[in-house]
């Protein structure tokens, strides 16, 4: 038991996974926390980024180019999804964006020529550039951490800028925001695109970490996990997504060490984070780090 727990391979793998996931949560926070729209399409952007990156990388594209291309394709799909849906009200956006996740999932299963369908893409390599081979787990962790820090820095700057403040005015009172001459739709669309871009970047790193992706890697359980991470940390607070992700990873991984048969670990993990999501939404909708934002709080 304890030798598994203190196994550096296992620990560094989980830490890397969580660090990549932080990019995803921070990006989702821009939409859910700051604009106040429940975007359930984030898993779809993540999936698009991962597939684009994997296909390009395995056909000989350099790492950085493949990673950025994955982000750009995800960002573009975010733009395409945002265009018809961002004028709708919050719960319609939730349905439409859940539909988007479904469409991406169906495409990943059916476009067998690109994605190999349900078989998934195995053997995705870790990157190697500037004479450094990131096959090494510590170096790969450092690379992911560096990208996460840079992404986080960019998102923090964006959210702290006047642009980010306008996003918050949309959450608090969209009409007031429009009345001072802000084209809120255009701001929402830009934020959606940026958020999807970073989800795509996270997808690329994720594919290289797990070295295998399939349509089932990016679906409803992952979506619930993502929402739970954000809500536990606190949507609307920049650090909320970060804290929530690490807290949820610790809880998620500790289920593994409970005295239960290995076949039920997956179900128990899902039960743990879903129950946590319900409890936090009932008793502390603003999460651990959240400020008293109107979006999730009792009026």
Alpha-carbon distance of 299 to 53, in angstroms, equals 44
- For residue 117, report the phi and psi dihedrals to the nearest 5 degrees: 55, -145
**Shortest Cβ 37–other proteins spacing (Å):** 9
DSSP code for 118: G
In the complex, the residues that contact other proteins under the rule CB under 8 A are: 36, 38, 81, 84-85, 87-92, 94-96, 98-100, 102-103, 105-107, 109-110, 174-175, 220-221, 223-224, 227-228, 231, 263-264, 266-268, 270-271, 273-275, 277-278, 281-282, 285, 294-299
Alpha-carbon distance of 83 to 63, in angstroms, equals 30
Q: Which lies closer to other proteins via its Cβ, residue 84 or residue 131?
A: 84
**Shortest Cβ 64–other proteins spacing (Å):** 32
Q: Which lies closer to other proteins via its Cβ, residue 56 or residue 223?
A: 223
Q: Which lies closer to other proteins via its Cβ, residue 67 or residue 232?
A: 232
Q: Which lies closer to other proteins via its Cβ, residue 24 or residue 57?
A: 24
Q: Does residue 21 sit in helix, strand or coil?
A: helix
Q: Which lies closer to other proteins via its Cβ, residue 120 or residue 285?
A: 285
**Shortest Cβ 3–other proteins spacing (Å):** 28
DSSP lists the bridge partners of residue 121 as 213
**Shortest Cβ 81–other proteins spacing (Å):** 8
**Shortest Cβ 26–other proteins spacing (Å):** 18
Burial 38-52 (b: 16+ CB within 10 A, else e): bbbbbbbbbbbbbbb
**Shortest Cβ 85–other proteins spacing (Å):** 7
Longest dimension (CA), the chain: 61
Question: Tokens 């684009």 identify what position?
Answer: 52
Q: Does residue 122 sit in helix, strand or coil?
A: strand
Q: Which lies closer to other proteins via its Cβ, residue 72 or residue 281?
A: 281
Q: Is the dihedral of CA 121, 210, 216, 229 positive or negative?
A: negative
């Amino acid at each position: 038991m304890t030798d598994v727990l203190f196994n550096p391979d296992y620990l560094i793998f989980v830490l890397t996974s969580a660090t990549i996931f932080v990019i995803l949560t921070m990006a989702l926070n821009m939409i859910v926390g700051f604009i106040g729209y429940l975007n359930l399409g984030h898993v779809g952007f993540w999936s698009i980024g991962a597939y684009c990156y994997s296909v390009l990388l395995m056909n000989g594209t350099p790492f950085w180019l493949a990673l950025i291309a994955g982000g750009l394709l995800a960002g573009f799909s975010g733009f395409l999804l945002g265009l018809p849906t961002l004028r709708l009200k919050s719960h319609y956006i939730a349905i439409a964006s859940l539909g988007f996740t479904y469409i991406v999932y169906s495409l990943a299963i059916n476009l067998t020529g690109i994605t190999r369908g349900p078989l998934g893409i195995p053997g995705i390599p870790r990157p190697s550039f500037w004479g450094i081979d990131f096959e090494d787990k510590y170096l790969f962790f450092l690379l992911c951490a560096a990208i996460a820090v840079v992404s986080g820095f960019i998102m923090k700057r964006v959210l702290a800028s006047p642009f980010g403040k306008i996003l918050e005015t949309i959450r608090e009172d969209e009409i007031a925001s429009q009345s001072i001459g802000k084209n809120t739709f255009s701001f929402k669309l830009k934020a959606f695109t940026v958020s999807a871009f970073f989800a795509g970047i996270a997808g690329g790193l994720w594919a290289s970490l797990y070295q295998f992706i399939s349509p089932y890697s990016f679906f409803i359980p992952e979506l619930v996990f993502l929402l739970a991470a954000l809500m536990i940390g606190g949507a609307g607070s920049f650090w909320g997504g970060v804290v929530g992700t690490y807290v949820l990873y610790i809880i998620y991984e500790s289920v593994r060490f409970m005295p239960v048969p290995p076949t039920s670990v997956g179900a128990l993990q899902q039960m743990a984070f879903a129950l946590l999501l319900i409890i936090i939404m009932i008793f502390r909708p603003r999460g651990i780090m959240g400020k008293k934002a109107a979006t999730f709080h009792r009026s």
